[in-house]
Structure 1
């Protein structure tokens, strides 16, 4: 997760320090090199060269996980999964044997940051793409990574991969994503990490005003833009799927639960039940991270047992609106064995 500008905490442990009543502001990615087909930044697209490091808890990293799976990049771009519980040394690979990433050979993601820029003072965030031969971080630009997956990595896409960023709809997709980012993706954080009532109120009101608009937009259309899945749906989904488990209570975003808005709930369930979305979600990781790492918000570290997750698998009836999830393409195949979400994280 990216760290906020006015907090030195690493990754998503942004809630552990007081903000001095300053509004929450998310930092821009410091390492913004791009991996492109022509290699113009010095990093050409190449199968097997890079490793994507993520946390299943993080909504920003989850964008990359979903996009990678929808586009069928699993064989071309390996993936390392960090422990949802961080410590002061950053995201750690304690889920792997001997506590080391099996490809990069490191214990902490910060080692890849240090290999790129010694003494880098900023936070260590996910998603991060690491150059395997050198062990150096390439990029942590969470806004650009998935756009490049869709447009620069096309030579490595699976047959039948959907076009998640179609040229004919990019202006509309960009407009929708800008509002979603400001008021929803980042809005829940501005509410959750607010230390002043006015800042919280403003974030809360903007969040639910935007959710009302999105609910109205989705009432008679299956997807946000056009009649197929796009990058806009990926970005909205990663916040919606975390809404009831963590944002509603932990971040005080409680005007209503997602499950109480018939349109947004059906839309989110439709996506969750679409291959490539729900099969990447680990609710256990999500709850463990938010409730145990954000000690400034939840000092007891108690992780709630609820909510009931079984509703994610109930009928949504959104197919009645038409639409073609993958356009002229096909769904992704089965999740690779080593990347399946454990039963503890599924509904």
Structure 2
């Protein structure tokens, strides 16, 4: 079977069999107190995100849950990608008010003018130098939970408890490959075989998580952890975006008894729903990127649903 034409933005991440493999991160030096690591320092770093991105969203949720707002400032790029990548068009004058840059790409260009990958979010930037510090979205939340502990608010939840780290890491791997990235593997697939493989794995994993959540409030029992943050950012985008835009359409999250109640439980928890912007999510996934550029939504019709008021209905997970 022939493979459809690749999209230029993601061309380097699409394989000959039509499957999608995400690029590696450019800024991977961790936060910590060892040699060569970025030492946490209040006011020194700025977290850049785009509201529709699930990987950036989870860093913002953890920042809020741990009370790191005063220690790490937040810059927000538009949810519409330009030819130069993410742009600060939401800010006055079209530039980030702290870093003075128009595009996140400028941070990448300063590090490597020959860099050919996509400038991605989240990225933490050193405001003193303007240099990128960390864009490792897979480990960033763990570093906020551990290396940044001296700056956590009083009473902050322990999202990465030492006694559960091995179990959290193992589950996070499966959630990332099969759910977080699974929707992208299905949505960006350029062959029927690659799409169906990603689709089947995605829903097999969601079925397993549905069963897991039938006997516990959170993924690791009665404690909110990093794993819950990672799963939430995909679940909250699923019915509004992935179900239709990425053809992940076997079931909506609203069709799962336990996953749907669990997602509402998290949405109604401070730090989750109040950092979720459904309008940005819907506009990004339906009015920009692959859908419009490849003709799937040529008239730029924004779906009216789903009914977002349902996210605030009673969930009963406290039982």
TM-score when scaled to structure 1? 0.86
- Deviation for aligned residue 1:299: 4.2
The one-character-per-residue Cα deviations of 1:272-317 (angstroms, maximum 9, x if unpaired) are: 0001111100001111111122233734132211111110000000
8 A Cα contact 1:16 1:297, kept in partner: no
- Paired residues for 1:198-213 under 5 Å: 198-213=193-208
Task: Give 1:233's aligned residue.
Answer: 228
The one-character-per-residue Cα deviations of 1:85-119 (angstroms, maximum 9, x if unpaired) are: 01011100000000010000111111111222222
8 A Cα contact 1:15 1:296, kept in partner: no
8 A Cα contact 2:235 2:253, kept in partner: yes
8 A Cα contact 2:78 2:90, kept in partner: yes
CA root-mean-square deviation? 1.8
Structure 1's 252 and 16: CA in aligned 2 closer, same or farther, altered over 3 A? Answer: farther
Task: Give 1:24's aligned residue.
Answer: 20
Structure 1 distance, partners of 2:13, 2:286, is 15
Structure 1 distance, partners of 2:253, 2:295, is 22
Structure 2 distance, partners of 1:35, 1:282, is 28
Structure 2 distance, partners of 1:40, 1:55, is 31
Q: Pick the aligned partner of 2:64 from 69, 87, 94.
A: 69
Task: Give 2:316's aligned residue.
Answer: 317
Q: Please state if 1:99 is matched with 2:97.
A: no
Structure 1's 235 and 15: CA in aligned 2 closer, same or farther, altered over 3 A? Answer: farther
Q: Please state if 1:34 is matched with 2:30.
A: yes
Structure 1's 249 and 297: CA in aligned 2 closer, same or farther, altered over 3 A? Answer: farther
The one-character-per-residue Cα deviations of 1:9-41 (angstroms, maximum 9, x if unpaired) are: 2xxxx49998654311112212211121x1532
8 A Cα contact 2:14 2:20, kept in partner: no
Task: Give 1:334's aligned residue.
Answer: none
Bigger mean CA offset, 40-49 vs 214-223? 40-49
Structure 2 distance, partners of 1:298, 1:96, is 30
Task: Give 2:129's aligned residue.
Answer: 134
Task: Give 1:283's aligned residue.
Answer: 278
Question: Which runs of 5 or more structure 2 residues have no equivalent in the other structure?
Answer: 1-5
Q: Please state if 1:194 is matched with 2:196.
A: no
8 A Cα contact 2:49 2:77, kept in partner: yes
Structure 1 distance, partners of 2:36, 2:184, is 32
Structure 2 distance, partners of 1:42, 1:213, is 37
Structure 2 distance, partners of 1:174, 1:42, is 21
- Paired residues for 1:35-184 under 5 Å: 35-36=31-32, 38=33, 40-184=35-179
Q: Please state if 1:255 is matched with 2:255.
A: no
Number of corresponding residues: 310
Q: Equivalent residue of 1:54, what SS?
A: strand
Structure 1's 305 and 16: CA in aligned 2 closer, same or farther, altered over 3 A? Answer: farther
Structure 1's 185 and 17: CA in aligned 2 closer, same or farther, altered over 3 A? Answer: closer
8 A Cα contact 2:80 2:288, kept in partner: yes
Structure 1's 18 and 180: CA in aligned 2 closer, same or farther, altered over 3 A? Answer: closer
TM-score when scaled to structure 2? 0.93
- Deviation for aligned residue 1:179: 1.1
Question: Which runs of 5 or more structure 1 residues have no equivalent in the other structure?
Answer: 1-5, 321-347
